[in-house]
């Protein structure tokens, strides 16, 4: 009789122990990979909106756009109407938000990271520039470590020392789940190149 009771007790304990060794719930964990997209608002020299476009499905890690960069090629933007409207022109201004998105295993947005560049130009010079970056749409399982780390510089383009600008921004964010702690950390980044005619290129990634 005692043997039967002992076996029954072990049958109750073993599944509980096995359950405790399982990983964090899949629903709260991040899925592999990131999604890359951009949102762009082109304005003319008088501040009138010429076009506004959002595009998804950009390859991660590859330079994408139309800006000229020394020693590098860009993947052409597949939206020629936007490029004809906003680039290339003698003067104008543009705002581009280049975005990295991470999702959970269930497909919900865990976080988004973006670099937002606004610049003006009077060919071939960039005449105004502002750059921002950070996380947004952050869910309850994501803990931001930092969001606006970066650097940048002007480079020579079309004969002007301020004809081009490069900027790098990166952040750090952890997937933290109650009882399990922080199970992974991602380091998203965005690189952007701007030219003094409205052209731009960017790349982003960071799993």
Delimit the domains of the chain by residue range: 30-205
Q: Which two tokens stand for residue 83?
A: 């490029």
Mean pLDDT calculated for residue range 14-27: 57
pLDDT of residue 7: 43
pLDDT of residue 18: 40
pLDDT of residue 143: 97
Q: Is 82 helix (H, G, I), strand (E, B) or coil?
A: helix
Closest CA to 68 of 157, 160, 154: 157
pLDDT tens column, 54-94: 899 998 988 888 776 655 566 666 654 444 344 678 888 88
pLDDT interval class at 5 (50, 70, 90)? very low
H or E segment and range at residue 145:
strand 142-157
pLDDT of residue 20: 47
Q: Which residues contact 4 (CB under 8 A, 6 or more apart)?
A: none
Q: pTM of this prediction?
A: 0.81
Place of tokens 């409205």: 198
pLDDT tens column, 113-137: 999 999 999 999 999 999 999 999 9
Judged against a pLDDT cut of 70, whether residue 41 lies above it is answered with yes
pLDDT of residue 25: 77
């Amino acid at each position: 009789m005692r043997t039967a009771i002992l076996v029954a007790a072990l049958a109750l304990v073993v599944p509980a122990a096995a359950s405790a060794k399982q990983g964090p719930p899949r629903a709260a964990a991040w899925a592999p990979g990131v999604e890359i997209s951009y949102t762009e608002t082109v304005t003319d020299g008088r501040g009138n909106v010429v076009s506004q476009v959002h595009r998804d499905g950009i390859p991660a890690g590859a330079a994408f756009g139309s800006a000229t960069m020394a020693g590098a090629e860009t993947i052409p933007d597949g939206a020629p109407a936007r490029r004809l409207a906003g680039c290339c022109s003698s003067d104008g201004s543009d705002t581009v938000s280049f975005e990295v998105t991470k999702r959970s295993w269930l497909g919900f947005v865990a976080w988004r990271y973006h670099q937002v560049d606004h610049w003006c130009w009077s060919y071939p010079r960039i005449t105004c520039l502002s750059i921002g970056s950070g996380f947004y749409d952050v869910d309850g399982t994501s803990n931001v470590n930092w969001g606006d780390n970066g650097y940048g510089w002007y480079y020579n383009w079309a004969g002007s020392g301020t004809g081009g600008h490069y900027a790098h921004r990166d952040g750090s964010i952890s997937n933290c789940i109650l009882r399990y702690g922080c199970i992974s950390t991602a380091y998203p980044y965005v690189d952007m190149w701007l030219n003094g005619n409205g052209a731009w290129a960017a790349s982003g990634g960071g799993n």
